[in-house]
């Protein structure tokens, strides 16, 4: 049985030594995380004029006003649906790709595949948006030209469904590298004896995938579900800003972009702060779910 070690047991004769070593990280956390978070909570209780010269305490009025707004619930619904589609799409795609690459025996070819699938993650979301805006452009894009040959019209600037698909596809492509890397690493932890036993039982490739690979990657899949949801809720503002700007008809106006619009474009600091607080609560809830379901597995290991 392992017992937690005290400071003296790990080599620190004086507790203040450990405190000094922690100071740089504590300073960074307080400056760039806790202080801005407290400032947002404080700002959400005030109504500030557009120029920032005066503010009036309104308590929870900003929260009640926002929660009673149909626009907020529309943005929330768009955020949830888009996050679900991005998460399912990127995880299903990378699970298949990582399984195929893991089965490649040639090291140079395997390295080539890994590099190819990791490249999208090295591209910033706004640049990703510009790439897919060009690829799916109704005037010069290859894919819209192919769709038009089948009688399918494509114009994300006018069609809300097309705009939603554009943002979702771009976000999935941007996250391929991150999910691929983690799934590929998780594949290395699956005992090869399981596949050998399945081969002796004449199991087909699909059966090996569904009965061995998918169950053995359950913990990694749970982790990636949470990470992809957080990415979809918080990190696609740049992608949306360069592609659809939340339109048309607010079809891609997710919560994080609504926060940007209210806080920085419309100078409604109070409402922007309220949306930031709500996003923080949502992300904290996702992190809690992740820790709650992954903790027993970690303790077992």
For residue 301, what pLDDT is reported?
38
Closest of 128, 131, 114, 213 to residue 171, by C-alpha: 128
Domains and CATH numbers, the chain: 61-300 (1.10.3720.10)
**pLDDT above 70 for 35:** yes
Among 8-12, 162-166, 196-200, which range has the highest average pLDDT? 162-166
- Alpha-carbon gap, residue 163 to 156, rounded angstroms: 4
- Residue 99 in contact with residue 213, Cβ under 8 Å? yes
CA–CA distances in Å: residue 297 to residues 184, 287, 300: 19, 16, 5
Average pLDDT value for the chain: 83
**pLDDT above 90 for 85:** yes
**pLDDT above 90 for 62:** no
- Alpha-carbon gap, residue 6 to 12, rounded angstroms: 9
Q: What are phi and psi of 37, to 5 degrees?
A: -65, -45
CA dihedral 87, 89, 90, 92 (to 10 degrees): 110
Closest of 229, 231, 216, 225 to residue 185, by C-alpha: 216
**pLDDT above 50 for 299:** no
Asked whether the bond before 36 is cis by omega within 30 degrees of 0, the reply is no
DSSP state of 248: S
For residue 234, what pLDDT is reported?
83
**pLDDT above 60 for 151:** yes
- Residue 269 in contact with residue 94, Cβ under 8 Å? no
Residue 63 makes CB contacts below 8 A (sequence gap 6+) with 44, 274
- Alpha-carbon gap, residue 42 to 65, rounded angstroms: 17
Q: What are phi and psi of 191, to 5 degrees?
A: -60, 130
Helix, strand, coil share (%) of the chain residues, nearest 5: 75, 0, 25
Q: Where are the beta strands (DSSP E) in the chain?
A: 46-48, 55-57
- Alpha-carbon gap, residue 178 to 183, rounded angstroms: 9
**pLDDT above 70 for 298:** no
pLDDT in tens, 175-224: 999 999 999 989 888 888 888 888 888 888 888 888 888 889 988 988 89
């Amino acid at each position: 049985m392992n017992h937690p070690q005290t400071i003296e047991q790990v080599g620190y004769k004086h507790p203040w030594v450990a405190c000094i070593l922690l100071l740089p990280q504590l300073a960074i956390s307080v400056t760039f995380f806790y202080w801005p978070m407290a400032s947002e909570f404080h700002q959400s209780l005030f109504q500030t004029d557009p120029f920032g010269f005066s503010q009036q305490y309104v308590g929870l009025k900003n929260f009640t006003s926002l929660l009673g707004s149909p626009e907020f619930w529309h943005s929330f619904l768009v955020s949830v649906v888009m996050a679900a589609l991005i998460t399912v799409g990127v995880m299903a795609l990378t699970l298949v790709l990582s399984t195929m690459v893991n089965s490649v025996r040639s090291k140079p070819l395997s390295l080539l595949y890994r590099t190819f699938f990791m490249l999208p993650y090295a591209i910033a979301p706004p640049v990703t948006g510009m790439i897919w805006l060009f690829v799916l452009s109704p005037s010069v894009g290859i894919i819209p030209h192919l769709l038009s040959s089948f009688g399918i019209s494509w114009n994300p600037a006018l069609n809300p469904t097309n705009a939603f698909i554009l943002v979702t596809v771009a976000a999935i492509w941007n996250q391929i590298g991150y999910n691929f890397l983690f799934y590929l690493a998780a594949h290395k932890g699956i005992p090869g004896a399981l596949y050998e036993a399945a081969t002796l039982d004449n199991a087909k490739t699909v059966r090996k995938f569904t009965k061995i690979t998918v169950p053995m990657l359950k913990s990694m899949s749970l982790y990636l579900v949470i990470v992809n949801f957080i990415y979809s809720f918080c990190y696609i503002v740049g992608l949306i800003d360069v592609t659809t700007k939340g339109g048309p008809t607010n079809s891609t106006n997710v919560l994080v972009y609504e926060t940007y619009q209210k806080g920085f474009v419309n100078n409604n600091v109070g409402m922007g702060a309220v949306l930031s607080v709500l996003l923080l609560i949502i992300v904290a809830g996702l992190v809690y779910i992740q820790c709650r379901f992954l903790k027993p597995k970690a303790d077992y290991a």
